Amino acid sequence: MLIHENTNLTLEECQVTEEVILEWDYSRDAIEYIHKRTGLNKGMILADINSGTGNLARHFMKLANTVYCIEPDREKRQEAAERFWKNKNFIEINGTANCTMIGRQSVDVITCGSGISDCEEHAAIREFRRILKDNGWLILIENKLLMDNLTKSDPYPPELMSFYYPHNIWERLEYPFRFFADRETLLGICPHASSQQNIEKLFAGRKEERIIGEGITILHIGQPGY
Protein backbone atom coordinates (compact mmCIF):
# COMPACT_ATOMS: atom_id res chain seq x y z
CA MET A 1 0.00 0.00 0.00
CA LEU A 2 1.29 3.43 -0.92
CA ILE A 3 0.34 6.69 0.74
CA HIS A 4 1.71 10.02 -0.38
CA GLU A 5 0.84 13.67 -0.78
CA ASN A 6 1.28 15.12 -4.27
CA THR A 7 4.39 13.14 -5.15
CA ASN A 8 5.42 11.48 -8.40
CA LEU A 9 6.23 7.89 -7.47
CA THR A 10 6.23 5.28 -10.20
CA LEU A 11 4.46 1.97 -9.88
CA GLU A 12 7.82 0.24 -9.34
CA GLU A 13 8.46 2.46 -6.28
CA CYS A 14 5.12 1.64 -4.66
CA GLN A 15 4.92 -0.58 -1.60
CA VAL A 16 1.83 -2.70 -2.18
CA THR A 17 -0.32 -5.36 -0.60
CA GLU A 18 -2.00 -8.13 -2.57
CA GLU A 19 -5.33 -9.86 -2.15
CA VAL A 20 -7.21 -12.51 -4.09
CA ILE A 21 -10.86 -12.01 -5.09
CA LEU A 22 -13.16 -14.22 -7.10
CA GLU A 23 -14.26 -11.62 -9.62
CA TRP A 24 -13.20 -8.27 -11.03
CA ASP A 25 -14.13 -5.76 -8.36
CA TYR A 26 -12.60 -2.94 -6.35
CA SER A 27 -10.08 -4.18 -3.82
CA ARG A 28 -11.74 -5.02 -0.50
CA ASP A 29 -8.86 -3.32 1.30
CA ALA A 30 -9.48 -0.14 -0.70
CA ILE A 31 -13.18 -0.14 0.16
CA GLU A 32 -12.44 -0.79 3.83
CA TYR A 33 -9.99 2.10 3.85
CA ILE A 34 -12.64 4.43 2.42
CA HIS A 35 -15.04 3.35 5.18
CA LYS A 36 -12.42 3.90 7.86
CA ARG A 37 -10.92 7.15 6.55
CA THR A 38 -14.23 8.92 5.95
CA GLY A 39 -15.95 7.48 9.02
CA LEU A 40 -18.93 6.64 6.82
CA ASN A 41 -22.03 6.13 8.96
CA LYS A 42 -25.82 6.36 9.02
CA GLY A 43 -25.67 10.11 9.50
CA MET A 44 -23.84 10.72 6.21
CA ILE A 45 -24.86 11.25 2.58
CA LEU A 46 -22.82 9.83 -0.30
CA ALA A 47 -23.07 10.73 -3.99
CA ASP A 48 -21.63 8.33 -6.55
CA ILE A 49 -20.91 10.18 -9.81
CA ASN A 50 -21.31 8.34 -13.13
CA SER A 51 -22.42 5.39 -11.03
CA GLY A 52 -23.23 3.06 -13.93
CA THR A 53 -24.95 -0.08 -12.66
CA GLY A 54 -23.82 0.56 -9.08
CA ASN A 55 -20.68 -1.58 -8.85
CA LEU A 56 -18.99 1.01 -6.63
CA ALA A 57 -22.07 2.37 -4.85
CA ARG A 58 -23.10 -1.07 -3.62
CA HIS A 59 -20.14 -1.11 -1.25
CA PHE A 60 -21.61 1.81 0.71
CA MET A 61 -25.29 0.90 0.87
CA LYS A 62 -25.15 -0.63 4.35
CA LEU A 63 -23.31 2.27 5.96
CA ALA A 64 -24.54 5.58 4.51
CA ASN A 65 -27.84 7.25 5.34
CA THR A 66 -28.39 8.06 1.67
CA VAL A 67 -26.58 6.90 -1.47
CA TYR A 68 -27.29 9.00 -4.55
CA CYS A 69 -26.45 7.18 -7.79
CA ILE A 70 -26.00 9.80 -10.50
CA GLU A 71 -25.96 8.27 -13.98
CA PRO A 72 -27.05 9.70 -17.36
CA ASP A 73 -27.49 6.35 -19.14
CA ARG A 74 -31.07 5.11 -18.77
CA GLU A 75 -30.29 1.40 -19.19
CA LYS A 76 -27.56 1.52 -16.54
CA ARG A 77 -29.86 3.39 -14.15
CA GLN A 78 -32.55 0.78 -14.73
CA GLU A 79 -30.14 -2.06 -13.99
CA ALA A 80 -29.01 -0.30 -10.80
CA ALA A 81 -32.64 0.22 -9.77
CA GLU A 82 -33.34 -3.48 -10.25
CA ARG A 83 -30.32 -4.33 -8.07
CA PHE A 84 -31.01 -1.93 -5.22
CA TRP A 85 -34.76 -1.27 -5.12
CA LYS A 86 -34.96 -2.96 -1.71
CA ASN A 87 -32.44 -0.49 -0.25
CA LYS A 88 -34.41 2.40 1.22
CA ASN A 89 -31.32 4.64 1.18
CA PHE A 90 -30.76 4.20 -2.58
CA ILE A 91 -31.79 7.17 -4.76
CA GLU A 92 -31.39 7.03 -8.53
CA ILE A 93 -30.79 10.33 -10.33
CA ASN A 94 -30.74 11.05 -14.04
CA GLY A 95 -27.79 13.43 -13.90
CA THR A 96 -24.14 14.01 -14.70
CA ALA A 97 -21.01 15.21 -12.95
CA ASN A 98 -21.87 18.66 -14.30
CA CYS A 99 -25.44 18.61 -12.97
CA THR A 100 -26.19 16.17 -10.15
CA MET A 101 -29.58 17.66 -9.15
CA ILE A 102 -28.46 17.46 -5.49
CA GLY A 103 -28.81 20.29 -2.97
CA ARG A 104 -26.03 22.74 -2.21
CA GLN A 105 -23.48 21.57 0.41
CA SER A 106 -25.55 18.51 1.22
CA VAL A 107 -23.06 15.69 0.53
CA ASP A 108 -20.49 14.25 2.95
CA VAL A 109 -18.72 11.97 0.46
CA ILE A 110 -18.39 12.11 -3.33
CA THR A 111 -17.20 8.95 -5.02
CA CYS A 112 -16.36 8.48 -8.67
CA GLY A 113 -15.06 5.29 -10.21
CA SER A 114 -13.52 4.98 -13.65
CA GLY A 115 -16.24 7.36 -14.86
CA ILE A 116 -14.05 10.31 -13.83
CA SER A 117 -12.39 10.01 -17.24
CA ASP A 118 -15.75 10.94 -18.80
CA CYS A 119 -16.02 14.17 -16.80
CA GLU A 120 -15.24 17.63 -18.14
CA GLU A 121 -12.95 18.77 -15.34
CA HIS A 122 -13.95 22.42 -15.01
CA ALA A 123 -17.68 21.73 -15.07
CA ALA A 124 -17.31 18.79 -12.68
CA ILE A 125 -15.25 20.72 -10.16
CA ARG A 126 -17.86 23.50 -10.06
CA GLU A 127 -20.54 20.95 -9.25
CA PHE A 128 -18.37 19.18 -6.66
CA ARG A 129 -17.78 22.51 -4.94
CA ARG A 130 -21.50 23.20 -4.94
CA ILE A 131 -22.72 19.94 -3.43
CA LEU A 132 -19.84 18.94 -1.12
CA LYS A 133 -19.81 20.05 2.52
CA ASP A 134 -16.83 22.09 3.72
CA ASN A 135 -15.25 19.07 5.42
CA GLY A 136 -16.51 16.57 2.84
CA TRP A 137 -14.49 13.84 1.15
CA LEU A 138 -13.71 13.33 -2.53
CA ILE A 139 -12.82 9.78 -3.58
CA LEU A 140 -11.57 8.90 -7.05
CA ILE A 141 -11.04 5.20 -7.67
CA GLU A 142 -10.35 3.00 -10.67
CA ASN A 143 -9.36 -0.55 -11.48
CA LYS A 144 -6.68 -1.24 -14.07
CA LEU A 145 -5.19 -4.40 -15.48
CA LEU A 146 -1.76 -4.73 -13.92
CA MET A 147 -0.31 -5.52 -17.34
CA ASP A 148 -1.42 -2.08 -18.58
CA ASN A 149 1.48 0.37 -18.71
CA LEU A 150 0.41 2.47 -15.74
CA THR A 151 3.54 4.63 -15.77
CA LYS A 152 2.47 5.98 -19.19
CA SER A 153 -1.32 5.80 -18.91
CA ASP A 154 -1.99 6.74 -15.30
CA PRO A 155 -5.59 8.03 -15.24
CA TYR A 156 -4.71 10.28 -12.29
CA PRO A 157 -1.61 12.34 -13.11
CA PRO A 158 -0.47 14.77 -10.35
CA GLU A 159 -1.53 17.84 -12.33
CA LEU A 160 -5.10 16.54 -12.55
CA MET A 161 -5.15 15.69 -8.86
CA SER A 162 -3.95 19.19 -8.00
CA PHE A 163 -7.03 20.41 -9.86
CA TYR A 164 -9.46 18.21 -7.93
CA TYR A 165 -7.63 18.72 -4.61
CA PRO A 166 -6.67 22.43 -4.79
CA HIS A 167 -4.81 22.40 -1.46
CA ASN A 168 -2.51 19.70 -2.87
CA ILE A 169 -3.21 17.29 -0.03
CA TRP A 170 -4.53 13.86 -0.84
CA GLU A 171 -3.64 10.22 -0.40
CA ARG A 172 -2.87 7.89 -3.25
CA LEU A 173 -3.09 4.20 -2.46
CA GLU A 174 -2.56 1.27 -4.80
CA TYR A 175 -3.87 -2.22 -4.10
CA PRO A 176 -2.88 -5.09 -6.43
CA PHE A 177 -5.26 -8.03 -6.46
CA ARG A 178 -5.85 -11.23 -8.40
CA PHE A 179 -9.17 -11.95 -10.06
CA PHE A 180 -11.00 -14.82 -11.73
CA ALA A 181 -12.96 -13.78 -14.82
CA ASP A 182 -13.85 -14.69 -18.40
CA ARG A 183 -12.97 -12.78 -21.56
CA GLU A 184 -16.39 -11.22 -22.18
CA THR A 185 -16.68 -9.98 -18.60
CA LEU A 186 -13.29 -8.29 -18.77
CA LEU A 187 -13.98 -6.71 -22.15
CA GLY A 188 -17.23 -5.32 -20.78
CA ILE A 189 -15.70 -3.69 -17.70
CA CYS A 190 -12.45 -2.47 -19.29
CA PRO A 191 -13.65 -0.29 -22.18
CA HIS A 192 -10.37 1.42 -23.04
CA ALA A 193 -8.74 0.19 -26.24
CA SER A 194 -5.35 -0.42 -24.63
CA SER A 195 -6.92 -2.56 -21.90
CA GLN A 196 -8.98 -4.53 -24.40
CA GLN A 197 -5.84 -5.28 -26.42
CA ASN A 198 -4.18 -6.62 -23.27
CA ILE A 199 -7.26 -8.72 -22.46
CA GLU A 200 -7.08 -10.32 -25.90
CA LYS A 201 -3.41 -11.11 -25.22
CA LEU A 202 -4.36 -12.73 -21.90
CA PHE A 203 -6.74 -15.14 -23.61
CA ALA A 204 -4.72 -15.73 -26.79
CA GLY A 205 -4.09 -19.42 -27.30
CA ARG A 206 -5.91 -20.43 -24.11
CA LYS A 207 -8.69 -23.02 -23.95
CA GLU A 208 -9.87 -21.93 -20.49
CA GLU A 209 -13.05 -19.85 -20.44
CA ARG A 210 -12.02 -18.16 -17.19
CA ILE A 211 -8.54 -17.22 -16.09
CA ILE A 212 -6.75 -15.76 -13.10
CA GLY A 213 -5.42 -12.31 -13.86
CA GLU A 214 -3.83 -9.43 -11.99
CA GLY A 215 -5.32 -6.00 -11.45
CA ILE A 216 -4.72 -2.94 -9.33
CA THR A 217 -7.15 -0.61 -7.60
CA ILE A 218 -5.91 2.99 -7.71
CA LEU A 219 -7.46 5.13 -4.98
CA HIS A 220 -7.27 8.86 -4.37
CA ILE A 221 -8.91 10.19 -1.23
CA GLY A 222 -8.89 13.56 0.51
CA GLN A 223 -10.87 16.53 1.79
CA PRO A 224 -10.51 19.15 -0.95
CA GLY A 225 -11.89 21.98 1.24
CA TYR A 226 -13.30 23.89 -1.70
pLDDT at residue 150, as a whole number? 55
Low-confidence stretches of the chain (pLDDT < 50) are 1-18
Picking from 150, 151, 146, 129, the residue whose alpha carbon sits closest to that of residue 138 is: 129
pLDDT at residue 21, as a whole number? 53
DSSP per residue, 54-105 = STTGGGGTTT-SEEEEE-S-HHHHHHHHHHHTT-TTEEEE---SS---PPTT
Picking from 50, 137, 40, the residue whose alpha carbon sits closest to that of residue 93 is: 50
pLDDT at residue 17, as a whole number? 42
pLDDT at residue 14, as a whole number? 36
pLDDT at residue 207, as a whole number? 77
Q: pLDDT tens digit string along 70-88?
A: 999 999 999 999 999 999 9
